[in-house]
Every structure is written in structure tokens, then in C-alpha cells.
């Protein structure tokens, strides 16, 4: 089914928005997001590996030809360093590792080089935004005290380590190792990492902590950096398990109805709200269970299962059986959005991602059942003639479509669905880690270097 869904999403993108960043499936035209400046083709690059994995060979070939001929980074564009890294660098790296086609390696390294000026700050903590022509960076105007964002500068590690590995140039890995160093030197309030860090002073901004937006994939990348290093990156490992300990103590709570949730922390006060983005953490806890101190393995799996259940409830308690952007545990509600501007669903993957990890790590059939419910809801409410669209209010009787087919729908949501219903020898966890945009990167095995030496 996810293959049919991918075909529908891809064919319509191709028909109405080919070469542009995303598709507007209702108005049947291109959608340009300013996250990518005027770099084009986000959907193509984001979808390459999904096409490959689903064996959509013709489509993969067309996509590759587009990349060869048209993907151009010599543009005067201000881009989001984070978004371009996770979608474009990540997408190109995966396409290279899966297909072995040199063009993807070349483009990934070329783009990586364009991103380097973002690190020209007094601390080496990169800017959020970068003009890739002039090399001038700055931060989001809304960010506390001119800060960079934890989930943005903390979500470069996996891709940059691979860029060094593939280019032979250590500079990429050095840049991200320095971020670690800066973080390790800082005092952390209650062992937690605030979402804001000023790249000039090296001081935290507002003490807001989140495992959802602004924080999320920083934690994910600590764990995955350790896994991707074939469990040699002890520093990443320690930072991850220490962070989870602090998160459990200060952020994880149980509702009176028995649902475990992860709250947000604002200078010591809890906001009892959980974002759809936060739902990825179920899969993360389960993936990290294996490396947890021996008496904690079962506990981390259990935590993953509880978050999966809570997020499933957030879907089940809506009219459309699709989860809202954020749901609350206060004012007499549990796992329900109460504010109008938190009731939308934009084809996000995090809940399905967690089902996929939980399925692979526990084989409890309920995760496939829950995934199936999501497929049915997507088909019923998000599928339109011209592709798939997000929904403005998942509690409503009637769909009000937002008219955007997000590129992560093809790279993540559909890929995780496909993996949820596939055999486990497809991208096994022993050999692959997924970047935060679901792009698989190979684990760099300890003996790889030795093998390569021998081959020579
Ligand atoms: C994706 O770009 C990535 O998963 C990112 O980590 C968070 N936001 C979207 C999907 O919701």
C-alpha cells in the first residue's frame, strides 16, 4: 500500500511541480518554502532513497537525471542550515550509499562545503541561516537573545561525520566535534539542555527545554552518533544517557488517566503539552534500550511503548484518527489539542516512526495495527486527486486541506510505513541508522578501515 501511496505522491509531484521544492496538491502547482532559499528540487532529493528502497526504478532514474542536470548550489540564497543538511545532504548521502552512484557523493560534498561558513562564529556554534553565495550567516530573528537553536546545530553530526568519511577531508567532523566540546563545557540547568545557545557569547538563552520542536533531534543524534560509530563514540553515549536521565526526572509525567507524556520545561515550570514532533522519542528510547545500563534496558523499552501508546491515543481521540500538532494534559483533557492553532496535521511522520521502531524491537502486532489505522486515515482524509495534503483541523467533520504535500511525507512518513510492513532484513538496524529525515546512513564499522587497507 505504501508503494501505491508513494506512486500517487510522486506522480503528482512530477506532473504539477517537477523540479520545484514541493507540490500544492489542491491547486496543482509548485510550492516554494523559504527554508531552502532558491535551492530547488527538495522533494526529488528527499525522495531518492524511498524510490530506491521501494524499487521504483524508472522514477529513481528520472530523479537521478534531474540531480545530475539541474541540482545547483551556486545560487544566491539564504537557507536554513539545518533543513538543507537533513533533507539535501542527508538525502544525497543515502542515495549514494544505496545506489553507489558517484554523482550523489559529489553533490553531497559540494553542498557540505557550501555550509561550512555557517560555523564562522566566535564559538563555532553555527548560525541557523546562511547565504550560501556570500557566506554570511545570522540567526532567526525570533530566537531568544540572538541564539542558535539546539535542535538545529545539534542535528548536523551524522551527516558531517559521513562527509569527512567520503571526502577524506576532516574539516566536517571537526566542526561538529567542536559543537560537542562547547556543550560539554557549559553548566546545564538540572542536567537539561536549553533550546537556545548564543553563538557569540557561548551562553544559554532562555531556559526552555523541549524534546519536541527546538530540541528533539539533538537528543536523537547523540544516541545515533554512538550507534553510527559502531559504539565507539563514548562521549555521545554518555551525553545521551545522562540527558535521558534528566528528562525522566524533570519532564516525563503520567496523567491521571495513566498516559505517560513528555512535558515542556520553562525555567523550572512545566507546560503539560506534548507536540507531535515529541512522539519520535518513543522510537528513540526503544532504540537506545540496548545500550542503557543493564538494569535499565527493559525500562527504556517500556518507556518507548508508553510514549507510543500516548501518541496513538492522540490520534484515536480525534475525529479523523490523525494526530494534532500538539496535545495537552491540563484543564481536564488528556492527549487532546485544546487550542485552535494546534489542531492541524501536516503529514508528519513521528508517530509512524515510533510504531516502526517499536514493531522491530518488540514484534508486538499492535504496532502494525496502529500503522494500518494511520494508512486508512491518510487515504480517507489526506489523499486528494493531486497528491496528499495536510489537514487544518483533525477534530472537524470536514477536511479543510492546507494544500501542501511536505517533502518529508515522501522521505519519512511513507518510508517508515513501508518499513513497518517489510521484513527486517531491509535496512537492518545492525548496519544502518536513519538521520532525522529518515535517510539511512551506514554504520561505520570499526574494521572497515582495515578491510579497505587489505583490499588495496
Ligand atoms: C522533518 O523535517 C524531520 O523529521 C525533523 O526532524 C522534524 N520535522 C520534520 C517532520 O515532522
Question: Is residue 448 a part of any domain in this protein?
Answer: no
Question: Is residue 280 a part of any domain in this protein?
Answer: yes
Dihedral sign computed on CA atoms, order 75, 81, 86, 87: negative
CA dist 440 to 6, 54, 129, 132, 415, Å? 18, 14, 25, 26, 11
Catalytic residue flag (residue 216): yes
CA separation for the pair 130, 157 (Å, rounded): 18
Catalytic residue flag (residue 11): no
Read off the CATH number of the domain in which 324 is found.
Answer: 1.50.10.10
Work out which ligand 1 atom sits closest to the CA atom of 276. Answer: 11
CA dist 166 to 51, 107, 173, 202, 386, Å? 23, 11, 11, 31, 38
Domain containing 53 equals 1-442
Which range, of 32-41, 150-159, 261-270, 347-356, averages the lowest pLDDT? 32-41
Question: Is residue 455 a part of any domain in this protein?
Answer: no
Catalytic residue flag (residue 325): yes
Which range, of 67-76, 244-253, 380-389, 440-449, averages the lowest pLDDT? 440-449
Q: Alpha helices, DSSP H only, in 126-270?
A: 150-153, 157-167, 171-185, 216-228, 234-250
pLDDT at residue 456 tops 70: no
- φ, ψ dihedrals at 377, nearest 5°: -70, -40
Angle ∠(229,233,238) on CA atoms, nearest 5: 135
Work out which ligand 1 atom sits closest to the CA atom of 277. Answer: 11
pLDDT in tens, 388-420: 999 999 999 999 999 999 999 999 999 999 999
Region 26-48 average pLDDT: 95
Mean pLDDT of the chain: 97
Q: What is the pLDDT of residue 175?
A: 99
Q: What total number of domains does the chain contain?
A: 1
Q: Separation of 438 CA from ligand 1 center, angstroms?
A: 9
Question: Is residue 449 a part of any domain in this protein?
Answer: no
Which set of grid coordinates corresponds to residue 180? Answer: 560537542
pLDDT at residue 363 tops 80: yes
Q: Separation of 426 CA from ligand 1 center, angstroms?
A: 22
348 lines ligand 1 (CB under 6 A): yes
Q: Is 96 helix (H, G, I), strand (E, B) or coil?
A: helix
pLDDT at residue 33 tops 90: no
Question: Is residue 447 a part of any domain in this protein?
Answer: no
pLDDT at residue 453 tops 80: no
Ligand 1 atom 3: residue of nearest CA:
437
DSSP string, 51-79: HHHTT-HHHHHHHHHHHHHH----S--EE
- Give me the catalytic one of 22, 46, 59, 83: 83
Catalytic residue flag (residue 83): yes
pLDDT at residue 455 tops 50: no
Question: Is residue 369 a part of any domain in this protein?
Answer: yes
Question: Is residue 395 a part of any domain in this protein?
Answer: yes
Region 154-169 average pLDDT: 98
pLDDT in tens, 121-138: 999 999 999 999 999 999
38 confidence band (pLDDT: 50, 70, 90)? confident
Q: Taking Cα atoms as reference points, which of 97, 23, 54, 7 lies closest to residue 408? A: 23
217 lines ligand 1 (CB under 6 A): yes
Which set of grid coordinates corresponds to residue 420? Answer: 513497518
160 confidence band (pLDDT: 50, 70, 90)? very high
Question: Is residue 274 a part of any domain in this protein?
Answer: yes
Amino acid at each position: 500500500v505504501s508503494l501505491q501511496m508513494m506512486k500517487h505522491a510522486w506522480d503528482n509531484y512530477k506532473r504539477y511541480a517537477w523540479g520545484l521544492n514541493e507540490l500544492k496538491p489542491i491547486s496543482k502547482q509548485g510550492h516554494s518554502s523559504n527554508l531552502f532559499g532558491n535551492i530547488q528540487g527538495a522533494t526529488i532529493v528527499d525522495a531518492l532513497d524511498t524510490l530506491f528502497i521501494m524499487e521504483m526504478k524508472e522514477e529513481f532514474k528520472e530523479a537521478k537525471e534531474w540531480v545530475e542536470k539541474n541540482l545547483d548550489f551556486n545560487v544566491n540564497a539564504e537557507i536554513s542550515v539545518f533543513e538543507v543538511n537533513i533533507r539535501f545532504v542527508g538525502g544525497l548521502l543515502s542515495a549514494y550509499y544505496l545506489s553507489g552512484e558517484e554523482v550523489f557523493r559529489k553533490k553531497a560534498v559540494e553542498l557540505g562545503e557550501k555550509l561550512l561558513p555557517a560555523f564562522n562564529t566566535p564559538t563555532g556554534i553555527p548560525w541557523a541561516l546562511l547565504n550560501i553565495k556570500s557566506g554570511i550567516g545570522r540567526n532567526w530573528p525570533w530566537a531568544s537573545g540572538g541564539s542558535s537553536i539546539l535542535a538545529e546545530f545539534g542535528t548536523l553530526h551524522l551527516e558531517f561525520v559521513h562527509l569527512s568519511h567520503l571526502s577524506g577531508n576532516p574539516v566536517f567532523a571537526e566542526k561538529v566535534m567542536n559543537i560537542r566540546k562547547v556543550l560539554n563545557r557549559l553548566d546545564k540547568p538540572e542536567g537539561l539542555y536549553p533550546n537556545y545557545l548564543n553563538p557569540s557569547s557561548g551562553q544559554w538563552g532562555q531556559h526552555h527545554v523541549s524534546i519536541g520542536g527546538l530540541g528533539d533531534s539533538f537528543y536523537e543524534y547523540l544516541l545515533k552518533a554512538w550507534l553510527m560509530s559502531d559504539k565507539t563514540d563514548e562521549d555521545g553515549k554518555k551525553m545521551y544517557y545522562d540527558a535521558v536521565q534528566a528528562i525522566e526526572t524533570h519532564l516525563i509525567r503520567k496523567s491521571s488517566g495513566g498516559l505517560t507524556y513528555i512535558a515542556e520545561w520553562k525555567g523550572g515550570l512545566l507546560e503539560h503539552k506534548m507536540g507531535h514532533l515529541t512522539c519520535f522519542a518513543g522510537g528513540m528510547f526503544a532504540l537506545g534500550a540496548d545500550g542503557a545500563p543493564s538494569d535499565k534496558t527493559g525500562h527504556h523499552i517500556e518507556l518507548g511503548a508508553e510514549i507510543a501508546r500516548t501518541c496513538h491515543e492522540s490520534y484515536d481521540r480525534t475525529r479523523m484518527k490523525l494526530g494534532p500538532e500538539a496535545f495537552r494534559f491540563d484543564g481536564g483533557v488528556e492527549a487532546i489539542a485544546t487550542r485552535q492553532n494546534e489542531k492541524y496535521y501536516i503529514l508528519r511522520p513521528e508517530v509512524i516512526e515510533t510504531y516502526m521502531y517499536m514493531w522491530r524491537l518488540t514484534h508486538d502486532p499492535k504496532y502494525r495495527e496502529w500503522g494500518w489505522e494511520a494508512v486508512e486515515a491518510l487515504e480517507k482524509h489526506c489523499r486528494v486527486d493531486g497528491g496528499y495534503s495536510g489537514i487544518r483541523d483533525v477534530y472537524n467533520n470536514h477536511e479543510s486541506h492546507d494544500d501542501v504535500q511536505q517533502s518529508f511525507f515522501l522521505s519519512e512518513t511513507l518510508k517508515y510505513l513501508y518499513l513497518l510492513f517489510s521484513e527486517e532484513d531491509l535496512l537492518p538496524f545492525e548496519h544502518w541508522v536513519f538521520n532525522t529525515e529518515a535517510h539511512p546512513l551506514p554504520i561505520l564499522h570499526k574494521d572497515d578501515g582495515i578491510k579497505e587497507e587489505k583490499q588495496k
